[in-house]
Amino acid sequence: MTRKFGFHIRARDGAARQGEIVMPAGVVRTPAFMPVGTVATVKAMYMEQVAATGADIILGNTYHLMLRPGAERVARLGGLRKFCGWGGPVLTDSGGFQVMSLSGLRKVSEEGVKFRSHVDGAVHMLTPERSIEIQGLLGADIQMQLDECVALPAEHRKLARAMELSLRWAERCMAAFGDQPDRALFGIVQGGDDEALRRRSAAALSAMDLKGYAVGGLAVGEPQSTMLRVLEATLPALPDEKPRYLMGVGTPDDILASVERGIDMFVCVMPTRSGRHGLAFTRRGKVNLRNARHAEDPRPLDEESACPAARDYSRAYLHHLVRCGEPLGGMLLSWANLHYYQDLMAGIRSAIAANGFRSFAGGTRDRWAAGDLPPV
């Protein structure tokens, strides 16, 4: 029998929740970090490595995949999972953010958004219906509504217009998605940094009784304090029994702070992008492998890590690879970073289950603050 989509909260510690999302393609343990597989690849990683880090789900991108190789082609080749060799669940974003941030020509209307491809200059029209169609062709287990994301800071009038348009698009996405018990459509709360708009958006989306909800329009350059204020205003207006996804976040500290407020799912390019630029995330904080102090350091990034990239290579060697621009440097650091993020999520889940999240978060931050310099 095919499993229906479901979300089950197994433990609580304050507002923090530990649970699982059940889908035919697999179970996602929450709180979860989803590696970004924008164009059917988690950059510089094999899918087997991604799975071995502890990831249960990856993200694919509607905008990029519709441009190349094309959603219809991916469907003919068996869907995104088969196309890229990933065995678990897949979440796709709607393409709305990339249309706003990457494409040249952009014209937003009630119908949708008309844009010029950053790849070849061709003009496309992305409507709520077409976004859902593409995500279905890709075979996504969790699909996102098309929304309009406004960069911050922005005036109230612009934020309100985009939020209301996104609500109307959510209704159209619901109609296009239809009844699919084994898949989910998530709504996206918009409203910028305006708490009243966020609450209005959350209440309207909650009334649509979607299977999950995302908080969008953050991680666009605003300070962490603004992000947390918005979450504190938004989350109480969302159904407690549905999964909550914070889009585009973020740093390990952002994740701790957001879990504390009730977020269940995260996605961000930071671990892989940082790795490609020589920055590692470890339990002792960030390590910049470009720094000359690592040139003769025989220590690994983390001698206690289960990740070979963090445990079995010296900082001197990683420094050498990064400074020489060798692709292997970015591959190893991306691997180490994704593994660290998944270790962090596993620690968070265990701490919530043991009613010790606050102590875990405090200890984690203390280790970051102590730094990674060798003893004198």
Q: Cα separation of 339 and 312, whole Å?
A: 14
Q: Cα separation of 226 and 244, whole Å?
A: 18
Domain of 202, CATH number, reads: 3.20.20.105
DSSP-assigned letters across all residues of 219-271: SSS--HHHHHHHHHHHGGGS-TTS-EEETT---HHHHHHHHHTT--EEE-SHH
Are both 321 and 235 inside the same structural domain?
no
Q: Identify any residues that bridge with 18 across adjacent strands, giving them in sequence order.
A: 11
Are both 237 and 93 inside the same structural domain?
yes
Q: Cα separation of 5 and 229, whole Å?
A: 31
Nearest to 262 by CA among 247, 289, 287, 243: 243
Q: Is residue 365 part of a domain?
A: no
| Phi and psi, residue 32, nearest 5° | -125, 145
Sheet holding 90-93, edge to edge: 32-34, 265-267, 244-246, 212-215, 184-189, 142-144, 90-93, 58-61
Q: Cα separation of 325 and 249, whole Å?
A: 27
DSSP secondary-structure letter at 294? G
Domain that holds residue 318: 275-356
Are both 95 and 145 inside the same structural domain?
yes
DSSP alpha helix (H) spans, the chain: 47-52, 62-67, 71-76, 80-84, 96-101, 128-138, 156-177, 195-207, 224-234, 252-260, 270-276, 308-311, 315-324, 327-353, 357-370
Q: Is residue 362 part of a domain?
A: no
Within the chain, which residues score under 70 in pLDDT?
1-2, 102-104, 374-376
Q: Is residue 119 part of a domain?
A: yes
User: By CB neighbour count within 10 A (0-12 exposed, 13-18 middle, 19+ buried), where does 155 fall?
Assistant: exposed
pLDDT tens, residue by residue, 290-307: 999 999 999 999 999 999
Q: Residues, the chain, total?
A: 376
Are both 162 and 67 inside the same structural domain?
yes
Are both 281 and 180 inside the same structural domain?
no
Which residues lie closer than 8 Å to 171 by C-beta, 6 or more apart?
208
Q: Cα separation of 318 and 294, whole Å?
A: 8
| Phi and psi, residue 208, nearest 5° | -80, -10
Q: Is residue 303 part of a domain?
A: yes
Per-residue pLDDT at 88: 98
Q: Is residue 216 part of a domain?
A: yes
Are both 81 and 196 inside the same structural domain?
yes
Per-residue pLDDT at 285: 97
Structurally, how many domains does the chain consist of?
A: 2
Are both 193 and 304 inside the same structural domain?
no
Are both 55 and 190 inside the same structural domain?
yes
Token pair listed for 103: 């494409």
Per-residue pLDDT at 103: 56
Per-residue pLDDT at 54: 98
Are both 149 and 262 inside the same structural domain?
yes
Q: Of the residues 243, 268, 293, which one is the last residue of a structural domain?
A: 268
- b (16+ CB within 10 A) / e for 157-189: eebbebbbbbbebbebbbebbeeeeebbbbbbb
Per-residue pLDDT at 98: 80
Per-residue pLDDT at 106: 83
| CA 361 and chain centroid, separation | 20
Per-residue pLDDT at 219: 84
DSSP alpha helix (H) spans, 3-102: 47-52, 62-67, 71-76, 80-84, 96-101
Are both 107 and 205 inside the same structural domain?
yes
Q: Is residue 361 part of a domain?
A: no
Task: Return the H-helix or E-strand segment holding 122.
Answer: none
Are both 157 and 254 inside the same structural domain?
yes
Are both 40 and 145 inside the same structural domain?
yes
- Give the C-alpha distances (Å, rounded to integers) separating 352 from 148, 178, 269, 358: 34, 35, 25, 9
Q: Is residue 95 part of a domain?
A: yes
Q: Cα separation of 66 and 119, whole Å?
A: 11
Q: Cα separation of 355 and 214, whole Å?
A: 25
